[in-house]
Amino acid sequence: MEDYISQLNDAQRLPVLQKDGPMIVIAGAGSGKTRVLTLRIAYLMQQGVDAFNILALTFTNKAAREMKTRIADIVGQSEAKNLWMGTFHSVFARLLRMEADKLGYPSNFTIYDSQDSQRLVSAIIKEMGLDKEVYKYKQIQNRISSLKNSLITVRAYFNDADLQEADAMARRPRFGDIYKEYVERCFKAGAMDFDDLLLKTNELLNRFPQVLAKYQERFKYILVDEYQDTNHSQYLIVKALSDKYQNICVVGDDAQSIYAFRGANINNILNFQRDYDDVKAYRLEQNYRSTKNIVEAANSVIEHNKTKLDKVVWTANSDGPKIIVHRLMSDAEEGRYVASSIFENKMQHQLDNDQFAILYRTNAQSRAIEDALRKKDIPYRIYGGLSFYQRKEVKDVLAYLRVIVNPKDEEALKRIINYPARGIGATTMDKIVVAAKNYGRSLFEIIENIDQIGAGIHTGTRTKLKNFATMIKSFQVMEETSNVFELTEHVIKKSAYLTELKKDGTQEGISRIENIEELLNGMRDFVEGQKEVDEARGSLAEFLEDVALATDLDNDKGDTNRVSLMTIHLSKGLEFPYLYIVGMEEDLFPSAMSMNTREELEEERRLFYVALTRAEHQAYLTYTLSRYRWGKLVDAEPSRFLTDIDDKYLEYTTPPDDYRFKSSLSDHLWDEPDKSKLRQSKPKNGTPPSVNNPSPEQLRKLRKLRPVASASNKATLLMT
Ligand code: ATP
Ligand code: MG
């Protein structure tokens, strides 16, 4: 057995070796929080704690898998596999399956992804005859989601005059009715959306004391990574489960809290000590990830936020190169710059593609970068776009499988009932929806019994409906004796889905078929994999659950030697030797939508802190003078965050021949050139800072922005 304890520094060792009681580790980026959590689990197991009694909650399922592998190296595979580890959603989906009947759900309930939820909301708005310009389905779905995450059920909503008034003021007086209908329809469809996975877990633990007691007993040790980004619903689950034994260990970094817009609540960190008795608080201060330049630059950024806990982050690593700031004319040029820079670094330092990452604020920025990478033949992988499982053809096939497992699943049924075309049109479906409402039944039950019900549908169409029901039932019979792979192969042939795809001879059609093949490959892997890991798992329902909860960070198959592209939000917890943060411009980063209040701006700044602290060796920051946004070329200004970084960590490398910059910005610059600061930035090409090469001080003047650091206002709630 390896001596993993010696791989920890003194400060890290303390929380690992404290076996019992509540503890919190608040520490800066790269200081080993995740490592502490991982090794703590290994240590607990070596102290005789049964793997079955440990629950670990992570930000992605990929992170959970990596932790498990590491733990397996120490304690052995056979023990490690019994750990309950994963995201809140995947862990509690699994728990809900075992207890679903108590809440009136089938154990094979469907999980609606956000696309399914949006489609349902959109259908309801239409059925209720509401104006879709006023009742925008995405906004409505967001509101439903945030109510659920605050545990405000339909009943609670209707008991709260303020909430209703807020919606009336927003010209959406019928919101409550939509919410009610949405919840009922999900229930009738035997479906839970993402938020339900947390909401229903809370309901289960609240309403059934014996169930709560059972899981308190089961999860004697609970660990949570990235605790700063838990929302209220998640907080309550953890609180309830850990209440009896109080063996709870949470790790996080208030400076990396970046999901407030999704309801994450920083108070969960701040109040931890109040919530449990005798909490031990640990701090880690040494960063192992990054060079001194990067660590100190990141410190100088977060220093500008007022709301934060006092923390020290230092590193014994070498200084490393300065952070390169590079200005470009346009987003296309930015893409080319990044691609060439990666190419050069690879050549010069003999690096692999996977040592590079490119981070951006919004998904739309990836296109220009992708174009440039392709031209240079640099393989890349985008995370967080449309995940594989959300592609239309893949979702269609999965919809067949969903209906087989749970025929009540309304969204899946609507997807496939007339695809491929079976002569069951929209009018027929409208009639079925109405009948389902009248009879209080699912769509499938109406279809099955269409002869008795009639529903104003003529005989020819009824036959088509019955044929459809018969086909689904034949698939259900097959499901009992075959695995996911065999079943799916059968389904796509028998349903004529494959034939339909093959009719389309275009390149796009061909790539659709390839995706279906890829799906089948994935299924074969799943079948093989499940046999090894866990005899009891491996059913179609479990496959669908994995798929519904897969983020595409999880889907790391195939050739992994690629440059990673992702939004900053997704990059949390990851690290890369070479890092490019692109689009460092006002209105983009910070985002135009997040500059109205200090709180919003500070969240954007934390986002920048997260981005910068992903870099191990070298970071690049790029900004452009113009960029295509919403199809229009707009002028761009350098981000205020560039001026947040202390000048001494930066190197400006922009070439000096930049006419646009002169014309658009020089007026201000020439107002009052600060000569004393001009020498501070040393461009590679030897040109002194000038209009073409502004020093941070100049940028600051340019936008008359004052840093907002204020030592007296720092929160010192925890680290006293
Ligand atoms: P983040 O806040 O970004 O999630 P973190 O605090 O979770 O960061 P880790 O990811 O656990 O930090 O650690 C950062 C890097 O430092 C990892 O590569 C880890 O292996 C390494 N590391 C952590 N502690 C040590 C140590 N004591 N000795 C050597 N390397 C370490
Ligand atoms: Mg971490």
Q: How far is the CA of 30 from the centre of ligand 1 (A)?
A: 5
Closest Cα to atom 15 of ligand 1: 289
Domain 1-88+201-284 in this protein, CATH class: alpha beta
Check if 12 has its Cβ closer than 6 Å to any atom of ligand 1.
yes
Q: Please tell me the distance between residue 573's alpha carbon and the centre of ligand 1 in angstroms.
A: 9
Query: Tens digits of per-residue pLDDT, 597-609?
Result: 999 999 999 999 9
What ligand 1 atom has the least distance to the C-alpha of 610? 3
Binding residues: 27-34
Residues facing residue 6 across a β-bridge: none
Name the residue with the closest Cα to ligand 1, atom 17: 289
Closest ligand to residue 32's CA: 1
Decide whether any atom of ligand 1 lies within 6 Å of the 190 Cβ: no
- The position carrying tokens 């999860």 is 219
Active site residues: 33-34, 225-226, 256, 614
What letter would DSSP give residue 405?
A: H
Query: Is a pLDDT exceeding 70 seen at residue 549?
Result: yes
**Which atom, in ligand 1's list, is nearest to the CA of 574?**
3
Q: How confident is the model at residue 401 (pLDDT cuts 50, 70, 90)?
A: very high
- Tokens linked to 699: 């940028």
251-307 per-position pLDDT tens digit: 999 999 998 888 888 888 888 989 999 999 999 999 999 999 999 999 999 999 998
Residue 495 scores a pLDDT above 70? yes
Instruction: Look at residue 385 and tell me whether its pLDDT is greater than 90.
Output: no
Q: Is 35 in the pocket of ligand 1 (CB under 6 A)?
A: yes
Structure tokens at 428: 């027929």
Q: What element of type H or E holds 470? A: helix 459-481
| E strand residue ranges, 491-536 | none
CB atoms within 10 A of CB 592: 11
The residue with greater pLDDT, 147 or 712, is 147
The reported pLDDT for the residue numbered 185 is 95
Mean pLDDT across 538-559: 75
pLDDT confidence bin for 506, thresholds 50/70/90 = confident
Atom of ligand 1 nearest to the CA of 36: 11
**pLDDT mean over 467-483:** 95
Cβ count near 73 (within 10 Å): 14
Six token digits for residue 245? 């034994």
| ipTM of the complex model | 0.99
DSSP 133: T
3-state DSSP call for residue 160? coil
The predicted model gives 350-374 an average pLDDT of 94
- Ligand at minimal distance from the CA of 287 is 1
The 8-class DSSP code of residue 60 comes to S
Question: What does the DSSP assignment read for 125-184?
Answer: HHHTT--TTTS-HHHHHHHHHHHHHTT--HHHHHT-HHHHHHHHHTT-TTHHHHHHHHHH
The DSSP bridge pattern shows strands 248-252 and 221-224 to be parallel
CA atoms of 95 and 197, how far apart (whole Å):
9
Starting from the CA of residue 284, give the closest ligand.
1
Peptide bond into 420 cis (omega under 30): yes
Residue type, 649: Y
Residue nearest to atom 30 of ligand 1 (CA): 288
Q: Which homologous superfamily is 314-379+559-652 in?
A: P-loop containing nucleotide triphosphate hydrolases (3.40.50.300)
The CATH classification of domain 110-189, taken from the options 2.60.120, 3.30.1330, 1.25.40, 1.10.10: 1.10.10
311 lines ligand 1 (CB under 6 A): no
Report CA(384)–ligand 2 centroid distance (Å).
19
The Cα–Cα gap between 516 and 544 comes to 15
- For 455-459, 501-505, 698-702, which range has the lowest pLDDT when averaged over its residues? 698-702
Query: Comparing 158 with 390, which gets the higher pLDDT?
Result: 158
Q: Which of 18-32, 510-524, 620-634, 692-706 has the lowest mean pLDDT?
A: 692-706
CA 157 / ligand 2 centre spacing (Å): 37
* pLDDT higher than threshold 60 for residue 476: yes
Can you give the pLDDT at residue 633?
84
Same fold? 110-189, 314-379+559-652: no
Closest CA to 28 of 317, 288, 306, 356: 288
How distant, in Å, are the alpha carbons of 31, 409, 422, 433, 486 from that of 401? Answer: 44, 10, 18, 21, 12
pLDDT of residue 558: 61
pLDDT digits (tens, 9 = 90+) for 560-616: 899 999 999 999 999 999 999 999 999 999 998 888 899 999 999 999 999 999 999
Residue 205 makes CB contacts below 8 A (sequence gap 6+) with 211, 212, 215, 237, 240, 241
Structure tokens at 180: 């009610």
Q: Which of 16, 37, 289, 617 to mutate to test the pocket of ligand 1 (most atoms within 8 A of CB)?
A: 289
CA of 290 to the centre of ligand 2 (A): 14
282 Cβ contact partners less than 8 Å away, ≥ 6 residues apart? 11, 14, 15, 23, 24, 25, 27
Name the residue ranges covered by the structural domains of the chain: 1-88+201-284, 110-189, 314-379+559-652, 390-548
pLDDT at 679 over 90: no
Indicate the helix (H) or strand (E) that contains 632: strand 632-635
What integer is the mean pLDDT of 85-98?
94
Which fold is adopted by the domain 390-548? PCRA; domain 4 (1.10.486)
> Is residue 710 scored above 50 in pLDDT?
no
Is the CB of 407 inside a 6 Å radius of any atom of ligand 1? no
> Is 288 near ligand 1, meaning CB less than 6 Å away?
yes
385 vs 44: which has the higher pLDDT = 44
Closest ligand to 571 CA? 1
Round to whole Å and give the CA distance between 506 and 500.
13
Across the range 209-216, mean pLDDT stands at 97
Q: 2-31 burial, b if ≥16 CB within 10 A, otherwise e?
A: eebeeebeebbbbbbebeeebbbbbbbbbb
pLDDT at 541: 86
Question: In which residue are the tokens 């707009």 written?
Answer: 634
Distance CA 139, CA 464 (A): 37
pLDDT band at 195 (very low <50, low <70, confident <90, very high): very high
Range list of β-strands (E), 429-534: none
Residue 668 has pLDDT above 80, yes or no: no
CB count in 10 Å sphere of residue 70: 17
Of these ranges, 258-267, 352-361, 665-674, the one predicted with the greatest mean pLDDT is 352-361
CA 571 centroid distance within chain: 9
Instruction: Say what percent of the chain tops pLDDT 90.
Output: 70
User: Predicted confidence band at 630 (pLDDT cuts at 50, 70, 90)?
Assistant: confident
What's the CA-to-centroid distance between 289 and ligand 1, angstroms? Answer: 6
Q: Which single residue is written with the structure tokens 């990836």?
A: 366
Contact 678, 701 (CB under 8 A): no
Predicted local confidence at residue 610, as pLDDT: 97
For the annotated binding site for ATP, the residues are 27-34
Which amino acid residue places its CA nearest to atom 27 of ligand 1? 8
Residue identifier of the C-alpha nearest atom 11 of ligand 1: 32
In three-state form (DSSP H/G/I as H, E/B as E, the rest C), the secondary structure along 39-51 is HHHHHHHHCCCCH
Under a CB-based contact definition with an 8 Å cutoff, are residues 487 and 398 in contact?
no
The DSSP-derived string for 190-242 is TEEEHHHHHHHHHHHHHH-HHHHHHHHHH-SEEEESSGGG-BHHHHHHHHHHH
pLDDT value at residue 687: 38
Report CA(30)–ligand 2 centroid distance (Å). Answer: 7
pLDDT at 504: 83
Residue 122 reports pLDDT greater than 80: yes
Q: Is the pLDDT of residue 235 over 80?
A: yes
Q: Mean pLDDT across the stretch 22-46?
A: 96
Has residue 551 got a pLDDT over 80? Answer: no
449 close to ligand 1 (CB < 6 Angstrom)? no
Whether the per-residue pLDDT at 673 is higher than 80: the answer is no
Residue nearest to atom 8 of ligand 1 (CA): 30
Structure tokens at 480: 């009992």
Pocket test for ligand 1, best of 73, 254, 288 (most atoms within 8 A of CB): 288
Q: Is the pLDDT of residue 688 over 80?
A: no
Residues 202, 171: contact at Cβ < 8 Å? no
- The pLDDT score that the predictor gives to residue 553 is 66
